[in-house]
Structure formats: C-alpha cells, structure tokens
Amino acid sequence: MARGRIRARLRRSNLYTFGCLRPCTSEEEPHPLQGPGFSRTVHCNQPLVHEKKPLFYCKNDISTTKYNVITFLPKALFEQFRRVANIYFLLAACLSTSSMSPFSPLSMIAPLAFVVGLSMAKEALEDSRRFVQDVKVNRRKVNQHKVNGVFGPRSWQNIMVGDVVKVEKDHFFPADLLLLSSSYEDGICYVETMNLDGETNLKVKRSLETTLTLDNDGAFKDFTGTIRCEDPNSNLYTFVGNLEYERQVYPLDPSQILLRDSKLRNTDYIYGVVIFTGHDSKVMQNSTRSPSKRSTIEKKMDYIIYTLFTVLILISVVSSIGFVIKAKYQSTSWWYLRPDNIDTQYNPQKIGVAGISHLVTALILYGYLIPISLYVSIEVVKVLQATFINQDIQMYDEDTGTPADARTSNLNEELGQVDTVLSDKTGTLTCNQMDFLKCSIAGTAYGVRSSDVELAAAKQMASDLEDEDSDLSNFPMPKTKVSWEDVRRAEEIELESVVTSNSDEDHKQTIKGFGFEDNRLMNVNWLKEPKTDVLLMFFRILAVCHTAIPELNEDTGSFTYEAESPDEGAFLVAAREFGFELFKRTQSSVFIRERLSASGEVVEREYKLLNLLDFTSKRKRMSVIVRDEEGNIYLLCKGADSIIFDRLSKNGKMFLEATTKHLNEYGEAGLRTLALAYRKLDEQEFSDWNNEFQKAKSAVGVDRESTLERISELMEKELILVGATAVEDKLQKGVPQCIDKLAQAGLKIWVLTGDKMETAINIGFACSLLRQGMHQICITTSNSENDGKEIIKDNIINQITNASQMIKLNKDPHAAFALIIDGKTLTYALEDDVKHQFLGLAVDCASVICCRVSPKQKALVTRLVKEGTGKTTLAIGDGANDVGMIQEADIGVGISGVEGMQAVMASDFAIAQFRFLERLLVVHGHWCYKRIAQMICYFFYKNIAFGLTIFYFEAFTSFSGQSVYDDWYMILFNVVLTSLPVISLGVFEQDVPSEVCLQVFSP
C-alpha cells in the first residue's frame, strides 16, 4: 500500500481507551482555556514566532550539572568551606603570613590547597560525567521540518516550540509533542514510558482524526495551527488544551501527548509538533534532586571535630596563660633576649597585647590537632570501597549481566549499621514473572499443580517441626491447600515437581507464563465438561479482553505478546494453550484462532472492538465492548473480585459462592486473582450509551474524567460471573535463605505489599519471614460501614494496646511475634495520636507485614520507623511505586528487575537480585563500617599525639611559640606520610574473610 501503510484505515470511534475525541464543528462554540495556568500558546510550524515576547519559551537543551564554567569556582569553594575544619585552616593560612605565625606561609597554605584542590577535582570529575551525558543527549538528532515539506536532521538542543518533527521507531522523543499522525492509518502509536514512570508495558497514543491526512513529509508544506494549553507542570498523566486547525477547535487530552524521554515502539514513525521544550518538559519538571543523605559516622565525626576544637582552644588558652606568666615575671631577667629591644608581641610592658598575640600563635601552632586531610582521605577510601562493591563477582547476576552498583559512596559504612529492612514484595521478593497456574470456571476449580509458595511453606514448616522435634498436631496449620503428608514429604514433592518438569510428557511447564496442569481442560477436553458454554465464554474473555499486541516470532513460528502487565501476558499464553490464540489485532478488531474440536480444526474469528474501558488503579477493572461475527454485542470484563461481585446481576450470581471459595483458596496459596464476567447488550442500549460516551469524551473541563467514569459505570453493571483466574508470581532464588540469615544477624524485616492479607501471610511463610511457632498479631478494622471514624480508631488502639500487653506478659524469652496489618487500618495507625503506639508494638515484633498499602503509605511507614527508632533503616524495591520509600529511608536499594529503572535511579545502591542483599550488608557493610571506624579513630589518634608533642615542647620552652618540627615535615605529615597507610587500612583491611562473615549467621 502507498507510503508503506501497515494497517487498513479504521474509524476513529473504535479506538482505545474511552474511544476517540470528536471535533467541534462550529467556530461559535470554541473551547477557550483561560485563567492562570493555561496561558501557553504554540504556533505550529512557525517556531520563529516564539522567539519574540511574550511567547519567548526556553530552549530544548538541558543541563543536569551542578556547576558550569562560570559558577564552578565560587560554588565549589563554598561547598568546601562549609566544613568547619577547612574554615579554620583557611584562617590559619591567612594568619600565617603575619609575624605571629610560628610556621612559614607555605607550610600552612600548601596542605590546605592540596586538600581543597583534590576535593574540588573530585567534584569536577563527577560533574564532568554529568556534563558529558548532557552533551550526548543534547546532540541527539531528530528529523525536523525545514521548509516546503522537506525534513532534515537537527540536534535536540536546537529544537524549538512549534517545530514539526518526525521521530522514527525505537528513538526517543526530543521534547513534549502533540501527536499529529503515525505510520498506522488510524494515527495510533505505541510508546514505552520506562524512563518516566518505571513501567515496561507499552502505552497506546492516538492522534486527532483531523490531522490524519498529515501522513507524509510533503503534507507539512503549508501546515499551520495554534495550540492553546496548560502551562508547564510536573503532572505526567494530565494535559488540558485544544488545537485550532482549519478554523475549527479540537480538544486535546493526554492520549495525544508524547512526553520527552519516552520511546517510540512497534511504530515505524510519527509526526508531532513541539509543545514543551527543555526544562519546561514534564520529565524535567519532575526531575527533583535526591535527598542529601549523610552517614551516622560522618555526623558523629562532626561532633568529634567540635570536641577537638574545644581542646585546641583550651590548650591554646593554657599556653597563653603560661606565656603571660613567663613573660611578665621572668623574661625581664633573660638578658640574652634583649628586653630593652623586644617586639610588641613579647613585650612584658604590654602584656595584654602580648597574650592575645600568643593566643593566635598557639591556635596556629596546635592546629595539627585537627586532621586536615581526614575528609579527603575518607572520600578517597569510600570511592575505592564502592569500586570493590561494583566489582564483586558474587553479586553479579549472570542471567541479566547486571553487576552491583554503588550509586553513591557516601553511605558505604551505613550498610553495616542497618537495623530495619523495609522491602517491597512483587519484583523484589518475587520475580514479577507471572505463570497461569489455576482457574475457577462455572464453580469448578481447575489446576492441580501446587504453587512454589505452597511447596516452600510446606518445606519450611517441615524443617521447623523437625528442628523442634514436636508432634505435628500441636502446631496450627497455615491456610494453604497442602496436606500434612505434603509437609512430611516436602522435599519429595519438590523433587517430583522438578523431575516432572524435565519429562517429555509434561513439556507444558517449559512454556513461559503457563504452569497449568489439568487434563480436563487441555487438548480440547473441556468439550467433555458440563457447562461448555461458560467454559467457551471464559476462554474468549481471556483472548479478547486486553490491550496486548501479538508479535510473530519468525524463528519459532509462535506469537509473543506485548502486554501492559505480566498478568495480561500470562492470560494470553493460557488462552493460546487452551486453543484460543490471538494472532492479529487492529484498532477496530481482534482476530482469534479458536480450536473447537478434538480433531485440531482451527476457526479464525473476528471480534470488532466497539469500545475499550481501560484498567486504572481506581477502577480496578477493564472492559471491552465487542461485536462477534453473528452480530451479538458483548461487554467482557475482568477485574478485582470485590469490584466485579458488586456489579453482578441477580441471574449472574449462579457461581458466586463456589468462585468466592476458590478465590480465597488461591489467595491463601499466594496467587494473584482476577474475576471474569460478561454482559450481552442490546443494539439500541449500546447506541444510546455510546452517544453519551462520545459527548463526554469531546468535552473539555476539570470534570471530564469523572463524567467518563460515571458513564462507564452505567455500562459495567448487571454482569454475569464466569469464573476467576489465579496466576503465580514466583519467589526469587535464594530469598528464604537470605531473609533467614538477615534475621539471625539481628535485622528486623518489614514487608510492605499491595497484596491481600492471606496472600501476604503465605508469602511470609514461603520466604522464612514467618515461621511455625511464631505468634501472629493481626490488626484489622471492622467491616461494618456504620462505624464512624472515632469508633474504628478506638478499636484499632485497643487492638494495639492488647497486643503490646500480651508481648510484655509473655514470659518465654524465645517467643517470636509477627505483626500483620492492612492498608485501611494503617491509615488510622499512622495518625499522629496513634503512630507511636503502633511503632512501639511493631519494634517488639520480629517480623512485620503491611498489606494493601499504597506508595504513599510505604513512604510514611519508612519515615515513622526511621524517625521513631532513630536507627538505620534500609528500603529495597524495584518499581516506581517504591521510589518514595527508597528516598525516605537512610539507605535506598533498587532492584534492577523488569519494572524499569525508576527505583534504581532513586536508590543509593542497586543490585539485580534480593539475595545479594545478604552479601551487601553482612560482608561489605561489615567491612566498610569496620574500616571507616578504625580509619577515623587512627586519624584522630595520630593527630592528637602529634599535636600534644608540640604542646609538651612548648611547655619545655617556656611557651615561646616555637615549633619542634621542620616546616616541610609539617607539610608532609598529614598529607603524605601518615595518610597513605591509613587510606590503605580503610580500603584493604579485613578483620575476617567474607566466608566467615557469611558463616557466622548460618544455621
């Protein structure tokens, strides 16, 4: 097809989330944006207009550096002389040029210049790396419209507001753009926003229907238009504006906006017009500096420096008093000093001036009590320690080729002082790689394979029971579907599972995303089951209700799926294995190959997409409205069970009781669950609803989203329940062993997760966070909706008080307690009048699990632990929702997993697997803490010893203010002669080998 078109022209009303935006057809009803915050005007394809006031907008070059050529010297000097020790040595160097100085000016100025210069050189080196990265980004090329429909390459830094640019596949967007058209006929494109929000799933963007004709270079020869929109702001998910084009006004929303630093995927090219450039772009508006974190040792070192200053002043005063006494009562008899021709500073007739002069001399003379090279030596040592962490082969992940990364060297020794570890679950303790494991259809449970969580929990329980040599009946069994025989034979079960997975007969286990085992559904055997119509609808919902894109793997001939979440990818793999393969998708249709007979005959069916109501964290569900080949219209819906169950019709609750029971079992087995339902629609009903929906989409205003939500609710009701799915998020390798050893090392482990309580408890058993014999304390709110806030809070306070009392009254010294609390309860527990009671209970427990928590609650819990205990906290996570927690903790650790790099970019240390945390803390944390502590003590010892020899010599020489050492020796003592041995100690000292560090806490 002409110009390499990929897909057939499609109606814009059939597009993705909430459909399309219909233009206003009358100039008499524009949608002007007025008032503060909505003053930006962009003249499309007329960039030079914006160089004049009042439309003068910032350039597109960015700078993330701390300094530039002009500001480096003053800023860097300011940073160095924020340290009190450096200010003292600067004053001493200035005074060394006077006659009161016991040393030559060179002996005072040279060490200060060397130390400050070295620190400034380090700052310059680190900033130069940022500068090189900025230059690399600013010099990227993009095709920009020159004139008369001709596009040519231009550097990002030269792009201006109003420019029309052409971005090609797998390239980043140079600025915030308005999407005009793409290589697809319907003007959609796929965007990866990993650099913005940490999510690896692709987002769908779409252009306005009116700009679809701008589909080639020549079409922009006479293109003009005006965009009136909001001012630059940091909100990534909202955009309010309109486009004035061809004398009509078209409303804009976030689905037409392409943000800087996101990447074009699965689309050959797009055309867009620049709206926000440089530091006005949303990603730069969100680029806040990481909080400044200082180690505990560095803070304590400041107090020691102040103490040494006090000692310095004290001995200087003592020395000056001694000098005054000697000068006033004895110097007159010392004829060899020529008392008739004496300097003012030694004149007994002006003893006050002489005393003050000697005090200045003493402060300079005894200044070597303060180790001038301490700060720079510590910086050198920390950088070298960080290098060893980065090069540790035992923290290198071979699967991904990812080493450990000490992103900051300031907190190395803090790793050895961690008291509490706060961890995310999904992607941190687990792999965030979903396998379809079980399902419930028409009230019947399918899937016989035990999850890894069940097996690990059973194995842990068996191990604990054998260690305690106790009768099984004396211990409560967790609510998982694992029999006592399974507990006794946990190793056999695990071995059997491994052997089975390697057999030729069970090749299904090798399929990524599919761990289902049940012959009742495989190989079209489901046709022999009762209620085949419900089974058929279940499979079709799996295959049709999604936003994924099929991609053919030419090597294997099978399809892979670009899905918005790992769960969705697992559903499509499961549908394919059940005989319902998604093989093609357009913006108007989904094409499925359905295998409906045992003979293997495949039927290709087309489902026309009429509307798609996307998943959001608020809605907790997604729906598609489709028309099948028979002309029937269906709404297919999947979502959280609590949401779906509230929207069932009276006739749709036939399988509700059985499905609820199965969902509870799946949750207790550590599985992630969703409920599936559908509704058949009348033609007239859909037509009336769709008209209202289109009107709501075309509106511009602050209540647009709420209106869309309300209208969506009108359709997503009277549903018929089909069944539920259960997918498994596997534990990462070595997680139970790592947590077990950290617990034996005395660290408290908190898990903050969005899962429900049953799932979190069983994950806790699987990863050794919970153990048999451990007393579980569950703090929850009542389910009554009639209870007021005060009643609920009083109930929570009573639960916390009773639990604290129970712990205090427990006389068993070996008793261990685990606290489990959900997000709703945590909302009340974090209030000012309750949080200290909650923290007091939590610190008395060996393990804490917080369920159903939001990202904000993660950060608040971390802050409470950090400030409430006053001890070192470490937060570890892998996703954008963990950034607040990571930045709030004393030490932030990011997992470089599949959830993008947002957590890693906000972290202080990055590792590829949770199990590496054990070596990072127990080995490197111990070494770094020991080395830095010994190094600082040795620095102070040598300088105090050195300074006191000068004081003793002063007392011997009648406090004459003379130095016992040569000036050059004084210069070299701190900077060279004594620093290098101490630096070597700080870098290479090992009080115990790494193997011993790890074995100390081994069971």
Q: Which residues pair with 562 in a beta bridge?
A: 549
Residue 135, CA distances (Å) to 57, 64, 65, 313, 472 in order: 21, 10, 11, 50, 67
Confirm if 787 and 830 have CB atoms less than 8 A apart. Answer: no
C-alpha torsion sign, points 47, 51, 54, 58: positive
Q: Would you say 425 is a known binding-site residue?
A: yes
Q: Would you say 405 is a known binding-site residue?
A: no
Q: Find where tokens 């259809």 sit.
A: 441
Q: Would you say 672 is a known binding-site residue?
A: yes
Closest C-alpha to 183, from 268, 271, 264, 257: 268
Contacts of 990 (CB under 8 A, 6+ apart): 927
Q: Would you say 882 is a known binding-site residue?
A: yes
Q: How far apart are CA 352 and CA 432, in angstroms?
A: 77
DSSP state of 479: S
Q: Would you say 781 is a known binding-site residue?
A: no
Confirm if 685 and 632 have CB atoms less than 8 A apart. Answer: no
Contacts of 543 (CB under 8 A, 6+ apart): 572, 575, 576, 580, 581, 582, 590, 592
Q: How far apart are CA 436 and CA 329, in angstroms?
A: 96
Q: How far apart are CA 678 and CA 673, in angstroms?
A: 17
Q: Is 15 helix (H, G, I), strand (E, B) or coil?
A: coil
Q: Is 164 helix (H, G, I), strand (E, B) or coil?
A: strand
| Buried-exposed string 9-45: b where 16+ CB fall within 10 A, e elsewhere | ebebbbbbbbbbbbbbeeeeeebebeeeeeebbbbbb
Confirm if 643 and 620 have CB atoms less than 8 A apart. Answer: yes
Q: Would you say 878 is a known binding-site residue?
A: yes
Q: Is 854 helix (H, G, I), strand (E, B) or coil?
A: coil
Q: Would you say 673 is a known binding-site residue?
A: no
Q: How far apart are CA 660 and CA 765, in angstroms?
A: 23
Q: Is 37 left (phi over 0), alpha (psi -120 to 50) or beta?
A: left
Q: How far apart are CA 327 and CA 345, in angstroms?
A: 10
What's the token pair of residue 855? 């990202």
Phi, psi of 20 (to 5 degrees): -110, 175
Closest C-alpha to 837, from 870, 797, 873, 791: 797
The residue type of 623 is S
Q: How far apart are CA 295 and CA 413, in angstroms?
A: 7
Q: How far apart are CA 648 and CA 719, in angstroms?
A: 4
Q: Would you say 66 is a known binding-site residue?
A: no
Q: Would you say 755 is a known binding-site residue?
A: yes
| Catalytic pick among 163, 424, 729, 890 | 424
Q: Which residues pair with 584 in a beta bridge?
A: 591
Q: Would you say 881 is a known binding-site residue?
A: yes
| Buried-exposed string 821-830: b where 16+ CB fall within 10 A, e elsewhere | bbbebbbbbb
Concerning whether 424 is annotated as a catalytic residue, the answer is yes
C-alpha torsion sign, points 92, 94, 100, 105: positive
Closest C-alpha to 952, from 370, 366, 358: 366
Catalytic residues: 424
Specify binding-site residues. Answer: 424-426, 568, 615, 638, 672, 753-755, 852, 858, 878, 881-882
Specify binding-site residues for ATP. Answer: 424-426, 568, 615, 638, 672, 753-755, 852, 858, 881-882
Specify binding-site residues for Mg(2+). Answer: 424, 426, 878, 882
